[in-house]
Amino acid sequence: MRIRVENLTKRFGSFAAVDNVSFEVEDGSLVALLGPSGSGKSTLLRILAGLESSDSGSVWFDDEAATDLHARVRGVGFVFQHYALFRHLTVAQNIGFGLSVRGVDKDVIARKVKELLALTGLSGLEERFPSQLSGGQRQRVALARALAPEPKLLLLDEPFGAVDAKVREELRQWLRRLHDEVGVTSIFVTHDQEEAFAVADKVLVFHRGKVEQNGAPMDILDRPETEFVARFVGEVNVFPAKIAGDVASTGALSARISGNVPVGPAHLVIRAYDLKLWREDPGIATVQRVVTFGDRVRVQAEVDGAGPIVAFFPRRSSLLRGIEPGCRAQIEVTTARAYPAAGSSQLPAAIPG
Ligand code: ADP
Ligand code: MG
């Protein structure tokens, strides 16, 4: 099923939690709604599910107006962050629940449950109760339960938010494979950028009830349209800068700008992995800190006349030779973007904070 959302607005009092949002989701695709807490993602998902009404705008399922359809007839499956499994029902009963309340024949349910147990890697656990499962297993049961009635649209709200990092990563790969197998149009909410990029075909970045950018993961990473998106995705350095032609400069640092060049006061945004830094005297900066995180090294330096800058390197990078606190360094920016300085209030903090 294809989803179309047009000029959707939802207010709580005078506050617009969803503010004139429009987008489309292709049939069979997996789309992530990515944004900070409070940006309106869950509200939007609840409107799509029919659990919440909108104040204006419309929702279309294929070419059918769905705005006023009751939740029960929308054919939507929903998975929440907190598994919300029925504690007194077994895994098999949980998965079959949506079918049994619809009065589906017992044998049909049994067959469907068996199929879903296999699909979600839960075979052998059908007689367990939720309390006898790990967090990751419970969330897979929740997903199997949502899939049992064969929804036309699957909505997942921070589905892996309550499980630990390692399991989370397994679940996200599993979700992608499951989606490729089942092919149901799916929208999932997350505030975790890695999760969105690892799993989704398209990512919609939300900010204060609006869609800041809608694109393929690589577009969002490499061509962030707004300063908010650039700062939200990955680790960035931000400097107030002067623009001349397509070059932005701040203190001793200058960088060619990719993409749009703003007019007037600008913010220069450089990803921590989009710059080279090596030992050189005099250079333009003094190295302050060098910290190793597993396979990456974080170098913080003070750029003459511009302030602190952070760069990430692979652990074995030859650029790191001789880099130590107190040494002088040269810097070359490989990719940078710039945005108008106006309208940049309430942005997420950039490194180094
Ligand atoms: P997200 O899922 O992106 O964290 P939500 O959609 O849950 O954001 O919330 C968006 C904003 O709307 C938040 O500021 C939240 O406090 C507000 N909000 C959500 N639901 C209600 C409600 N029922 N009543 C009042 N405010 C709400
Ligand atoms: Mg939410």
Mean pLDDT of 266-278: 95
**Strand intervals (E) in the chain:** 3-12, 15-25, 30-34, 56-61, 64-65, 76-79, 153-157, 185-190, 202-207, 210-215, 236-244, 247-250, 253-256, 266-271, 275-279, 285-293, 296-303, 307-314, 328-333, 337-340
* pLDDT tens profile 115-147: 999 988 899 999 999 999 998 899 899 999 999
Read off the pLDDT band of 18 (50, 70, 90): very high
| Residue 351, φ and ψ in degrees, nearest 5 | -80, 155
- Cβ–ligand 1 distance for 43 under 6 Å, the answer yes
Mean pLDDT of 188-204: 93
Note every long-range contact of 107-113, with CB atoms under 8 Å and residues 24 or more positions apart, other chains counting. 112/148, 113/148
- Name which residue sits closest to atom 27 of ligand 1, judged by CA: 12
- Cβ–ligand 1 distance for 35 under 6 Å, the answer yes
Contacts of 75 (CB under 8 A, 6+ apart): 1, 61, 149, 151, 152, 153
Residue 175 tokens, joined: 């979700």
> Which residues is 188 bridged to in the sheet?
32, 156
| CA 37 to centroid of ligand 2, rounded, Å | 6
Q: What's the pLDDT at 119? A: 87
Mean pLDDT of 326-350: 87
Maximum Cα–Cα distance across the chain:
80
Of 63, 231, 78, nearest in space to 145 by CA: 78
Of 285, 345, 299, 309, nearest in space to 237 by CA: 309
* pLDDT tens profile 163-192: 788 888 888 888 898 899 989 999 999 988
- Name which residue sits closest to atom 21 of ligand 1, judged by CA: 12
Q: Ligand 1, residues 8, 10, 11, 12: which to mutate, most atoms within 8 A of Cβ?
A: 12
The rounded mean pLDDT for the chain is 92
Of 244, 309, 327, nearest in space to 273 by CA: 309
Residue 5 tokens, joined: 């959302």
- Cβ–ligand 1 distance for 12 under 6 Å, the answer yes
Q: What's the pLDDT at 353? A: 47
Q: What's the pLDDT at 345? A: 61
| CA 225 to centroid of ligand 2, rounded, Å | 24
Tell me the residue type at 124.
G
Q: How far apart are CA 310 and CA 299, in angstroms?
A: 6
- Cβ–ligand 1 distance for 329 under 6 Å, the answer no
Q: Ligand 1, residues 42, 43, 52, 188: which to mutate, most atoms within 8 A of Cβ?
A: 43
- Cβ–ligand 1 distance for 131 under 6 Å, the answer no
